[in-house]
């Protein structure tokens, strides 16, 4: 999943890129970012006596206009729709439905006619799985001796959790 800083970076560095795909997370992070910055600028405009905050709002909107269109087109591409679907925003009721769909609809799995998922498909290799297994002390599949030790430790851990639950949650003494 894409984080907020990566989403903002993609938003500005892919300024004129209408091709490709954008994930739901990327779209929603930019929506939140735009809302927070706009709200801050509007608060400055309401409390300030000069017109510089109003100018800042105008500049922010103009700077974000084209990348906003590009991001929306890439988001449509994420579920295999044409970028021309952006014109649905001109229809009053449809714009609300389309906005909700862009925020909540999940991406198409795998590659579609607009390319691979922008987050990439991460398939774990055997080497990576071994590293994760080492982190959580999972025994190797080929090592039967460590597997039996694992079973013993797992049973002891379950008993420990059970005792903790009885004592601290149910208030019973062991």
Residues 69-99: tens digit of each pLDDT: 999 999 999 989 999 999 999 999 999 999 9
CB 116 within 8 A of CB 125: no
Which is nearest to 11 in space by CA: 71, 72, 51, 59?
Answer: 71
First to last CA, the chain: 44
Q: How far is CA 58 from CA 53, 63, 64, in A?
A: 9, 9, 10
The fraction of the chain above a pLDDT of 70, given in percent, is 81
Output the pLDDT for position 158. 86
The reported pLDDT for the residue numbered 151 is 77
Place of tokens 């938003």: 11
Residue in this structure with the two tokens 């999940």, named with its chain if needed? 106
Cα three-residue angle 6-23-29, rounded to 5 degrees? 50
User: What is the per-residue pLDDT across 106-140, written as a single tens digit (0 to 9) for each?
Assistant: 888 888 888 888 764 444 455 555 555 555 555 55
**Cβ contacts of 118 within 8 Å, gap of 6 or more:** 2, 20, 21, 22, 23, 26, 74, 78
Q: Is the dihedral of CA 166, 169, 170, 174 positive or negative?
A: positive
Q: What is the mean pLDDT of residues 1-24?
A: 91
Please check the confidence at residue 21 and state whether its pLDDT lies above 50.
Answer: yes
For residues 117 and 23, the model is more confident at: 23
Residue 112 pairs with which residues in a beta bridge?
115
The pLDDT of residue 171 is above 90: no
pLDDT at 174 over 80: no
CA distance 73 to 82: 7
Domain ranges of the chain: 4-104, 126-169
Give the range among 9-23, 39-53, 79-93 with minimum mean pLDDT: 39-53
């Amino acid at each position: 999943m894409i984080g907020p800083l990566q989403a903002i970076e993609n938003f500005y560095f892919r300024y004129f890129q209408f091709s490709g795909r954008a994930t739901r997370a990327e779209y929603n992070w930019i929506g939140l970012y735009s809302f927070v910055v706009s709200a801050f600028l509007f608060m400055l405009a309401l409390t300030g006596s000069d017109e510089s905050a109003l100018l800042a709002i105008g500049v922010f909107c103009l700077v974000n206009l084209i990348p906003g269109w590009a991001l929306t087109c890439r988001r449509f591409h994420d579920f295999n729709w044409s970028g021309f679907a952006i014109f649905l925003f001109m229809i009053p009721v449809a714009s609300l439905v389309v906005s909700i769909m862009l925020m909540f609809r999940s991406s198409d799995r795998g590659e579609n006619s607009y390319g691979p998922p922008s987050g990439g498909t991460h398939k774990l290799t055997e080497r990576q799985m071994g590293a994760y297994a080492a982190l959580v002390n999972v025994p190797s599949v080929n090592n039967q001796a460590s597997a039996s030790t694992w079973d013993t430790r797992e049973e002891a851990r379950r008993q420990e959790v059970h005792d903790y639950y009885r004592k601290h949650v149910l208030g019973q003494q062991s």
